[in-house]
């Protein structure tokens, strides 16, 4: 059994203008120890998917239409909030995009960490450790993410920290409950390029050292290529291709994935200008029928508009949802 | 702090809910009782030579004594600190002989010097009561002949002299001297303290909330109800609004209350254990016309209004508890005559007068000013407005603070067309009322009409200096007729004086000379 | 921070002077004659003139103003023409009652408003949210004088559970004040009976006075809580397993409390002004009642004094809020 | 797009129970005020007719809310009172806005000393205890609706200066203003074309709430005996008189109070609802 198994997961957002089919039949499996990257343009639903794992999408407007998300054999979609609370942080933890806004501006770093630690204790149902003990652990965690002078840091407030430090604090928080699965939602997007690399390296090291399973979400294939063994490409609420990273980079099969790769500037060959994909992402209130990519697809046919392509395994561990894709 | 059955009940809210208005009793202090009296007006200044109004004088009368005292209905003047007095034949010299045993609360004897000092102080401060005597009496003409005799020599005869003497309270000169700051003659100190000899002494004084008086056990005059029944004291409680005052009486939180509306009294009369005091009053209500300026300077318009007004409404507003005035003088005042042909509602006549006036078709607006917050005056304004619609005259009803009203009334140019004024004569002498129609009263609140009739003025001036009472009264009879003929005001009514009390309060003694609401606390006691 | 405070204090002083000018102008546009009030009802003309001289009302206006301002700097608010007492003395006498009433009302407002606001935000768009919302708007819409009368009618007259008006039973002679606040004094002296009694008198007016303030606090707190609960840092804390009650009561509330604090400061200023109505209804011997009865009788020095005290109180409240902001928000603390 | 946002506004508004309640109440009060003279049972009773024989009668078929102390029909007076209250509420709000908004925009766009001066004066008036000042002013000028309104406008306008100033300040930084300035548009034109329209939403919200508060404030002055002159039917003054007739004639106080409550509640709920749609970010209590 996989650590995480998502099948036929459909999520809709109800609004004044109608219902947006934000996630449309997601099928994904993550084995323990796996590192999976999810890539796609802004608005393709990758963050919504990531938040689904912790049931953080606000209800309403979010509404589960169908599907299952099995984590360690438990269906998260049917788990009551109380059960979910026991999972958050302890089994599945998450780090976020913009560390400035994901840290409480008014609380000291220490307080935030201690609250996380004690929250975990309480969720575990055991003894909640006293504040002092929690604080000691917090300092350890800060040290573990490579922050100097953790004791002093505990008493400082987020605005006194640099972006990279804040992201490290967030990572420390995520580690507090010794989770099995770490979901990182664009963890480096808001950071400087140099800091980005450091943070990514830190994540990779932690994953390796602690035997974590990682789901890394990014719009940047380069970031994923650095840290993930496998990658899934999302387009407009569907997974269009899933493959080992090297395989996908070498041989993308879905026209969208191909377009995405072409959009990456190749520093080695400056004359090769990124081509991009014509058209824009569809309005999910009235998504195109059949394959959601067909209005922008150079290879679209009548079939594409009529029937939705399912993920087919075209090569070992390489699955594509396209009528026309061939190995 | 005293142990009180009432407070215990008050705090035990549950017990209270179970026992609505039963098991409550007057306050006890030891085995004596405290009477609680509630009124709507504070006592800003207690100094007897600086200020008086009904609530103030009620407390002053309790803590101070005068040479003489008004009692009963009709009001009589009885000896008090002075056991007797003599008046010289020329009406200039008055000699008072003091009782021998009167003493101030601090034990000092009350002697002739104290009396002289007090009158001198009253005249010198030139406030409050000073107006009564200051034109006829100079401080140096008051002489303490011996410790028990004081002699007053007036500048010229002044017939009302004795009628004002009861309001001149005697203060302890030693205490005043001890508390004089910056030569203020003890004024600051006496505002909230007392230096008197009266039946009560001050225990607690907050003129805006509550005044607690204790009875003086060895009051020099003794206690009429007997030592056994003497109260422990009286609390004057300020309850500005009628509804809480009424609720308090119902719940026996207070034993005596004043300033209830006629409608309230009617309802309260039905409550068990509540007794209503309802007595013919002495306070006239009139609507003063501005006789010098504006449309009302026209006597025909004044007459038209006087004949258009629905006088019955005055009675209805008081639920029957009022009499219409039949003279500018209140009934019961010496010299009062019932003037024939007092205007009463007669629209025919009113229209005839209107036709003779400068505004034969009406179509004007007249201002009617009353003291802000006086509910009866406001309602009378509404009745006036309704009445004058028949003459096509509009009425603008304006409530103004006392100070504004007085300021406006001080000059004919600014005096309103019509001003509603209540007047309580301070003494029983007819001059008290008559002089309000004299030129000298122009601009004072009772002189807002700026009434002009030199013949009448001369008669009034002459009468106040006359010694022959029969001739005097004849002049006053003529004065009353002349004033009615000139119609400087719409003569209204005299409302009854009313109080509500618990029925266990005994020996209330009514005297119309007191102000509306004012009660003589001295004879009161609680039975049971 | 220090310079900022000095600047603020300077501005406050300037505004206080403006307030003095304003009240002085208003008091003197009146066509009334304070000397007539000072002299008493039956006073003759010479007595009125004497009173006018005594109170300096015969001086030219600019001279009166100068004297008023110089007196104020010595803490002298002038004399009331109604009773000749120094207004400062009366203010000192009545202010504690108002302060006690406002403090209790504010405590009620905060203690009820903040939790209700939280509750409303947590259960946003559910029935409990709708109910608290109507309650909140009602708190602002209910005429305090009318609501006070209704409460009197119900709890005092009909049920007889509580006294109708006043601050203490007439038979209770309070000992010399320590703080002037009866509830506090009675506790300091360990006098439980007095405490219960004082409480029974203060509770109705305090409830009436607290309503608008409760409503404001509730509204601001609710919307700020809604905002805070939507914030990223709450999502992150939630994702990391911070306890729900800690999340709401500390993480979100602390952020919501800053704007709530601002409204509390603002409301404190308004409350001192609206005690006028509540004190009138409940015969509460505070500065509001003092101001109204003085204004109605045309005695303006007390009204000016009360206006100054209330204005000063408002400025101080604003200053305190600023300071609190500085200490509570670490971003401002460092700035 | 405009029609869509309009539809969205309508959708949000209809979804909110409180907003709909507010709209209903306001509509009812406005309708009563407009139709008052034609629907009241005793139109004479507001002009000063007295009927002392029929005073203080309890509610009955002839007088749904009973009669008052001079025998006037309370329902009639309360309904006609709605006109006065609405007019006064509207008048105070409009006057305050008419003074405050131009000053605020001026302060926000002019900057410098002028802004400093305007804002300091505004702060001064904001720190004035409103009701106490109004009481003092009315006591000085004499009671009457006009003076009560004057007093309330005096304490009401600063709020609008604050609002307009902050809007103008925030808009001043917007690129399109920069563009307009570069394009040579005069200051007045910029004010008129850009700043004002952008301040409209919060302004509408504030005014809608202020009408309610102004009605309440006038009633408060009326209650203290500083409002309308008799026989003008004014809710607060009615309660003030009715207070003397508690508890036996309780209906006298209940009815006008309920109307004040309903109308202030209505305008506040309406304003609240409008704010949720027009100006969702602000949340002044």
B181-190, C12-21, C142-151: lowest mean pLDDT where?
A: C12-21
For the stretch C270-322, pLDDT in tens is: 888 888 889 988 889 899 988 888 887 778 889 889 988 888 888 888 888 88
pLDDT value, residue C333 = 66
Say whether C240 and A93 touch across the interface (CB within 8 A): yes
Confidence of residue D1 (pLDDT cuts 50, 70, 90): very low
Judge contact between B458 and B320, C-beta under 8 A: no
Q: Identify the closest residue of chain C to D268 by CA–CA distance.
A: C137
Which burial class, exposed, middle or buried, applies to B398 when counting CB atoms under 10 A from its CB (0-12, 13-18, 19+)? buried
Q: Which residue of C has its CA nearest to B209?
A: C285
Name beta bridge partners: D136. Answer: none
Instruction: Measure in Å the smallest separation between the Cα of C257 and chain A Cα atoms.
Output: 11
pLDDT in tens, C242-282: 777 888 888 888 888 888 888 888 888 888 888 888 998 88
Residue A278 in this model has a pLDDT that exceeds 80: no
Q: What is the CA radius of gyration of chain A?
A: 21
The domain total for chain A is: 1
- The pLDDT assigned to C274 comes to 83
How distant is the Cα of B83 from the closest Cα of chain C, in angstroms?
29
Of A218, A106, A212, which Cα lies nearest the Cα of A159? A106
Contacts of B374 (CB under 8 A, 6+ apart): B399, B420
- For residue D247, whether the previous peptide bond is cis, meaning omega lies within 30 degrees of 0, is yes
Distance separating alpha carbons of residues B144 and A247, to the nearest angstrom: 129
| HEC-encoded secondary structure of A91-112 | CEEEECCCCCCCCCCCCCHHHH
- Cβ–Cβ gap D231/B375 under 8 Å: no
pLDDT in tens, A10-66: 888 887 677 777 788 888 888 888 888 888 877 778 888 888 888 887 777 788 888
3-state secondary structure B489-524: EEEEEEECEEEEEECCEECCCCCCCCCCCCCCCCCC
Which of A14, A95, A106 to probe the C interface (max C CBs under 10 A)? Answer: A106
Those residues with Cβ within 8 angstroms of residue A40's Cβ, 6 or more apart along the chain or in another chain: A46, A219, A233, A234, A235
Answer whether residue B12 shows pLDDT above 70: no
Residue B406 pLDDT: 83
Contact C216 D129 (CB under 8 A): no
Cβ <8 Å between C233 and A115:
no
pLDDT band at D147 (very low <50, low <70, confident <90, very high): confident
| D272 chain-C contacts, CB cut-off 8 A | 133, 137
Beta bridge mates, B18? none
* C203 or A107, greater pLDDT: C203
- Report the gap between the CA of A60 and the closest CA in chain D (Å): 14
Name every chain B residue with its beta carbon within 8 A of the beta carbon of C173.
Answer: 1, 204, 212
User: Which CA distances in Å does B287 have to B5, B261, B377, B435?
Assistant: 49, 21, 10, 17
Question: Taking CB atoms and an 8 Å cutoff, what residues of chain D touch B264?
Answer: 244-245, 248
CA-nearest residue of chain D to A15? Answer: D8
Do D244 and B385 lie within an 8 Å CB cutoff?
no
pLDDT of residue B28: 57
Per domain, the residue ranges of chain D are 75-282
CA dihedral for D104, D105, D106, D109, sign (positive or negative)? positive
Between the alpha carbon of residue B38 and those of residues A109, A284, B10, B41, C166, the distances in Å are 64, 77, 18, 9, 12
Tokens read off for B54: 């009904």
The pLDDT score that the predictor gives to residue B247 is 84
**How high is the mean pLDDT of chain A?**
80
Which residue among C142, C310, C311 sits closest to D261, beta carbon to beta carbon? C142
Chain D residues within an 8 Å CB radius of B401: 139
Do A119 and C240 make contact, defined as CB atoms within 8 angstroms?
A: yes
D230 closest CB neighbour out of B378, B400, B401 = B378
Question: B446 to chain C: nearest residue by CA?
Answer: C42
Provide, as residue numbers in chain C, all residues whose Cβ is less than 8 Å from the Cβ of B33.
Answer: none
Any domain includes A255: no
C-chain residues within 8 Å CB-CB of B427?
Answer: none
Q: Is residue A205 part of a domain?
A: yes
Neighbours of chain D (3+ CB pairs under 8 A): A, B, C
DSSP state of C293: H
- Which site among C226, C234, C239 would you substitute to test the A interface, given the most A Cβ atoms closer than 10 Å to its Cβ? C239
pLDDT, residue A264, reads 65
Residue B16 pLDDT greater than 50, yes or no? no
- Inter-chain CB proximity C233 and A94 less than 8 Å: no
Which CATH number do you get for residue A212? Answer: 3.40.50.300
D218-255 residue pLDDT tens: 999 888 887 777 788 889 889 988 888 887 888 888 88
Class of domain D75-282: mainly alpha
Tokens 């699955």 sit on residue: A319
Range with the largest mean pLDDT of A74-78, B21-25, C31-35, C74-78: C74-78
| Per-residue pLDDT at D284 | 44
Q: Do D139 and C303 touch (CB under 8 A)?
A: yes
Q: What is the pLDDT at residue C328?
A: 77
So what's the pLDDT on residue A265? Answer: 60
pLDDT of residue A275: 55
pLDDT in tens, B341-362: 899 999 999 999 999 999 999 8
The strand pair at B149-154 and B137-146 is best described as antiparallel
CB C84 to CB B188 under 8 A?
yes
Structural domain containing residue A109: 4-228
**A144: pLDDT strictly greater than 90:** no
**Residue B276 contacts residue B499 (beta carbons within 8 Å):** yes
Please give the pLDDT value at position C208: 94
DSSP letter (8 states) at residue B436: G
Q: Which residues contact B49 (CB under 8 A, 6 or more apart)?
A: B118, B121, B122, B125, B127, B128, B129, B130, B169, B171, B190
In a domain, A326, yes or no: no
What band does B275 get if pLDDT is binned at 50, 70 and 90?
very high
Helix (H/G/I), strand (E/B), else coil: D146: helix
C-alpha angle B38-B287-B463 in degrees, rounded to nearest 5? 95
Most confident of B63-72, C235-244, D5-14: B63-72
Does residue D29 contact residue D263 with C-beta atoms inside 8 Å?
A: yes
pTM, rounded to two decimals: 0.85
Q: Which of B249, B200, B242 is nearest to B221 (CA)?
A: B200
Q: Give the contacts of B353 (CB within 8 A, at least 6 positions apart).
A: B300, B301, B303, B304, B307
Q: Which residue of D has its CA nearest to C225?
A: D283
Under an 8 A CB cutoff, do B375 and D241 touch?
A: yes
Select the residue from B193, B369, B371, B406 to test the C interface by mutation, using most C Cβ atoms within 10 A: B406
Question: Hey, is the C-beta of B365 within 8 angstroms of any chain D C-beta?
Answer: no
Q: CB of A241 within 8 A of CB of A320?
A: yes
What pLDDT, on the 0 to 100 scale, is given for residue B123? 94
CA distance, residue D130 to nearest chain C CA (Å): 7
Could you tell me which chains touch chain B, where touching means 3 or more CB pairs under 8 A? C, D
Using a CB-CB cut-off of 8 Å, the residues of chain C touching A118 are 243, 246
Does C254 contact A93 at a Cβ distance shorter than 8 Å? no
Query: Which chains are within 8 Å of C by 3+ CB pairs?
Result: A, B, D
Minimal Cβ distance to D129: which of C26, C266, C307: C307
pLDDT at C52: 86
Compare all CA atoms of chain C with the CA of B4 and give the residue at the minimum distance.
C171
Checking if the pLDDT of B252 tops 60, the result is yes
Instruction: Select from D210, D93, D103 the least CA-distant residue to D165.
Output: D103
Provide the mean pLDDT of chain B. 89
Alpha helices in chain A (DSSP H): 46-52, 81-87, 109-124, 131-144, 150-154, 163-175, 193-210, 221-227, 245-250, 255-262, 302-306
The answer to whether the beta carbons of residues D279 and D38 sit under 8 Å apart is: no
Structure confidence by residue, pLDDT tens digits, D127-137: 777 787 788 88
pLDDT band at B21 (very low <50, low <70, confident <90, very high): very low
Quick check: D20 contacting C, CB < 8 Å? no
Q: Chain D partners of A16 at a C-beta cutoff of 8 Å?
A: 7-8, 11-12
Please determine, for residue A204, whether its predicted confidence score (pLDDT) is greater than 50. yes
Out of C236, C241, C328, the one facing A119 most closely (by C-beta) is C241
pLDDT, residue C299, reads 85
Domains identified in chain C and CATH numbers = 88-256+274-289 (1.10.3720)
B373 touches chain D (CB under 8 A): yes
Counting CB pairs under 8 A, whether chains B and A reach 3 or more, is no
Whole-number pLDDT of residue B6: 38
């Amino acid at each position: 059994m996989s650590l995480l198994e998502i099948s036929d997961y459909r999520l809709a957002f109800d609004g004044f203008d109608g219902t947006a089919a934000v996630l449309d039949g997601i099928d994904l499996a993550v084995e323990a120890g796996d590192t999976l990257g999810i890539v796609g343009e802004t608005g393709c639903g990758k963050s919504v998917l990531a938040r689904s794992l912790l049931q953080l999408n606000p209800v309403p407007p979010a509404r589960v239409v169908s599907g299952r998300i099995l984590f360690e054999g438990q269906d998260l979609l049917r788990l009551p909030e109380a059960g979910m609370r026991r999972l958050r942080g302890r089994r599945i933890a998450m780090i976020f995009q913009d560390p400035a806004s994901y840290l409480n501006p008014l609380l000291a770093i220490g307080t935030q960490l201690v609250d996380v630690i004690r929250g975990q204790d309480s969720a575990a149902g055991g003894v909640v450790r006293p504040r002092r003990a929690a604080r000691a652990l917090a300092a350890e965690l800060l040290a573990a993410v490579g922050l100097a002078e953790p004791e002093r840091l505990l008493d400082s407030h987020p605005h006194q920290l640099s972006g990279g430090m804040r992201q490290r604090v967030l990572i420390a928080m995520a580690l507090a409950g010794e989770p099995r699965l770490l979901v990182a939602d664009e963890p480096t997007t808001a950071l400087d390029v140099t800091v980005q690399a450091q943070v990514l390296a830190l994540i990779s090291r932690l994953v390796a050292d602690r035997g974590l399973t990682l789901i890394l979400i990014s719009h940047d294939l380069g970031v994923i290529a650095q840290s993930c063994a496998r990658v899934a490409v999302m387009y407009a609420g569907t997974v269009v291709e899933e493959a080992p990273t090297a395989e996908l980079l070498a041989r993308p099969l879905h026209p969208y994935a191909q377009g995405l790769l072409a959009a990456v500037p190749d520093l080695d060959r400056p004359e090769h200008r990124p081509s991009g994909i014509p058209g824009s992402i569809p309005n999910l209130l009235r998504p195109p029928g059949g394959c959601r990519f067909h209005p922008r697809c150079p290879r679209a046919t009548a079939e594409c508009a009529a029937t939705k392509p399912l993920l087919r395994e075209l090569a070992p561990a390489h699955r594509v949802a396209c009528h026309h894709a061939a190995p | 702090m005293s142990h009180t059955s009432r407070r215990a009940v008050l705090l035990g809210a549950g017990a209270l809910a179970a026992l609505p208005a039963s098991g409550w009793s007057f306050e006890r202090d030891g085995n004596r009782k405290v009477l609680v009296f509630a009124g709507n007006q504070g006592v800003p200044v207690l100094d007897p030579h600086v200020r008086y109004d009904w609530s103030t004088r009620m407390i002053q009368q309790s803590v101070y004594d005068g040479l003489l005292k008004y009692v009963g209905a009709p009001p009589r003047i009885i000896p008090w600190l002075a056991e007797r007095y003599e008046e010289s034949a020329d009406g200039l010299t008055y000699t008072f002989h003091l009782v021998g045993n009167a003493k101030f609360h601090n034990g000092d004897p009350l002697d002739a010097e104290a009396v002289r000092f007090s009158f001198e102080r009253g005249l010198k401060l030139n406030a409050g009561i000073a107006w009564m005597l200051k034109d006829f009496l100079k401080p140096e003409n008051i002489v303490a002949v011996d410790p028990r005799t004081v002699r007053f020599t007036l500048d010229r005869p002044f017939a009302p002299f004795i009628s004002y003497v009861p309001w001149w309270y005697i203060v302890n000169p030693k205490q005043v001297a001890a508390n004089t700051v910056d030569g203020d003659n003890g004024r600051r100190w006496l505002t909230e303290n007392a230096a008197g000899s009266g039946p009560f002494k001050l225990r607690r004084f907050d003129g805006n909330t509550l005044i607690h008086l204790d009875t003086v056990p060895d009051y020099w005059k003794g206690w009429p109800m007997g030592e056994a029944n003497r109260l422990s004291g009286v609390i004057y409680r300020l309850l500005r609004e009628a509804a809480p005052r009424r609720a308090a009486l119902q719940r026996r939180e207070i034993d005596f209350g004043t300033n209830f509306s006629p409608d309230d009294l009617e309802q309260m009369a039905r409550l068990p254990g509540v007794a209503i005091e309802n007595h013919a009053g002495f306070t006239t209500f009139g609507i003063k016309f501005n006789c010098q300026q504006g449309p009302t300077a026209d006597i025909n318009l004044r007459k038209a209004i006087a004949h258009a007004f629905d006088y019955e409404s005055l009675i209805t507003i008081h639920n029957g508890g009022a009499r219409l005035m039949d003279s500018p003088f209140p009934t019961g005042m010496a010299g009062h005559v019932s003037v024939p042909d007092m205007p009463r509602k007669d629209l025919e006549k009113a229209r005839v007068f209107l036709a003779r006036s400068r505004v034969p078709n009406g179509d004007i607006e007249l201002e009617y000013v009353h003291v802000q917050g006086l509910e009866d005056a406001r309602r009378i304004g509404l009745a006036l407005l309704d009445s004058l619609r028949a003459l096509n005259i509009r009425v603008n009803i304006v409530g103004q603070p006392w100070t504004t009203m007085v300021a406006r009334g001080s000059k004919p140019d600014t005096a309103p067309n019509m001003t509603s004024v209540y007047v309580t004569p301070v003494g029983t002498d007819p001059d008290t009322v008559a002089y309000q129609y004299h030129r000298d009263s122009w601009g004072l609140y009772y002189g807002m009409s700026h009434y002009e009739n030199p013949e009448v003025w001369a008669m009034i001036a002459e009468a106040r200096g006359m010694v022959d009472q029969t001739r005097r009264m004849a002049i006053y009879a003529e004065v009353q007729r002349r004033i009615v003929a000139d119609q400087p005001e719409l003569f209204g009514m005299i409302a009854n004086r009313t109080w509500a009390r618990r029925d266990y309060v005994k020996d209330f003694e009514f005297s119309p000379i007191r102000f509306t609401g004012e009660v003589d606390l001295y004879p009161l006691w609680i039975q049971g | 921070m220090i310079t900022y405070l000095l600047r603020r204090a300077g501005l406050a002083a300037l505004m206080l002077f403006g307030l003095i000018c304003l009240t002085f102008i208003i008091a003197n546009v009146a066509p009334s004659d304070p000397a007539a009030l000072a002299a008493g009802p039956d006073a003759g003309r010479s007595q009125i003139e004497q009173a006018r001289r005594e109170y300096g009302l015969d001086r030219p206006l600019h001279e009166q103003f100068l004297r008023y301002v110089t007196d104020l700097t010595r803490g002298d608010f002038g004399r009331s023409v109604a009773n000749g007492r120094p207004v400062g003395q009366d203010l000192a006498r009545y202010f504690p009652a108002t302060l006690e009433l406002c403090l209790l009302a504010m405590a009620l407002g905060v203690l009820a408003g903040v939790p209700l606001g939280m509750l409303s935000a947590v259960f946003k768009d559910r029935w409990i949210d709708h109910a608290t919302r109507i309650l909140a708007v009602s708190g602002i819409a209910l005429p305090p004088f009318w609501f006070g009368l209704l409460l009197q009618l119900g709890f005092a007259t009909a049920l007889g559970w509580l006294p109708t008006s006043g601050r203490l039973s007439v038979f209770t002679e309070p000992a010399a004040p320590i703080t002037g606040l009866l509830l506090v004094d009675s506790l300091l002296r360990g006098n439980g009976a007095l405490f219960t009694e004082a409480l029974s008198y203060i509770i109705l007016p305090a409830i009436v006075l607290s309503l608008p303030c409760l409503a404001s606090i509730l509204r601001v707190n609710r919307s700020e809580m809604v905002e805070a609960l939507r914030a990223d840092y709450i999502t992150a804390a939630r994702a990391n397993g911070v306890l729900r009650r800690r999340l709401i009561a500390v993480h979100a509330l602390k952020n919501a409390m800053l704007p709530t604090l601002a409204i509390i400061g603002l409301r404190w200023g308004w409350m001192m002004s609206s005690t006028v109505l509540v004190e009138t209804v409940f015969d509460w011997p505070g500065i509001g009642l003092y101001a109204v009865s003085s204004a109605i009788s045309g005695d303006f020095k007390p009204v000016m004094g009360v206006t100054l005290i209330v204005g000063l109180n408002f400025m101080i409240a604003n200053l305190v809020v600023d300071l609190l902001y500085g200490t509570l928000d670490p971003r401002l603390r460092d700035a | 797009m405009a029609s869509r946002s309009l539809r969205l506004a309508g959708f949000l508004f209809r979804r909110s129970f409180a907003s709909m309640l507010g709209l209903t109440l306001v509509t009812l009060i406005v309708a009563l005020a407009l139709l008052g003279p034609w629907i009241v049972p005793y139109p004479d009773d507001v002009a000063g007719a007295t009927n002392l024989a029929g005073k203080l009668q309890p509610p009955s078929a002839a007088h749904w809310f009973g009669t008052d102390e001079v025998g006037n029909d309370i329902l009639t007076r309360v309904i006609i009172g709605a006109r006065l209250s609405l007019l006064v509420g509207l008048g105070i709000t409009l006057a305050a806005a008419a003074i405050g908004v131009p000053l605020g925009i001026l302060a926000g766009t002019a900057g410098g000393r002028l802004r400093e001066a305007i804002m300091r004066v505004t702060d001064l008036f904001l720190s004035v205890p409103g009701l106490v000042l109004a009481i003092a002013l009315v006591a000085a000028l004499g009671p009457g609706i006009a003076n009560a309104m004057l007093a309330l406008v005096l304490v009401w306008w600063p709020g609008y200066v604050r609002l307009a100033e902050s809007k103008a300040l925030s808009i001043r930084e917007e690129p399109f203003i920069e563009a307009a300035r570069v394009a040579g548009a005069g200051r007045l034109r910029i004010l008129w074309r850009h700043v004002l329209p952008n301040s409209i939403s919060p302004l509408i919200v504030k005014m809608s709430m202020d009408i309610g508060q102004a009605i309440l404030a006038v009633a408060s002055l009326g209650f203290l005996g500083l409002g309308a002159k008799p026989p003008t039917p004014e809710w607060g003054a009615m309660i003030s008189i009715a207070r003397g007739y508690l508890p036996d004639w309780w209906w006298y106080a209940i009815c006008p109070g309920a109307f004040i409550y309903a109308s202030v509640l209505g305008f506040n709920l309406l304003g609240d609802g409008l704010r949720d749609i027009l100006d969702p970010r602000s949340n002044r209590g």
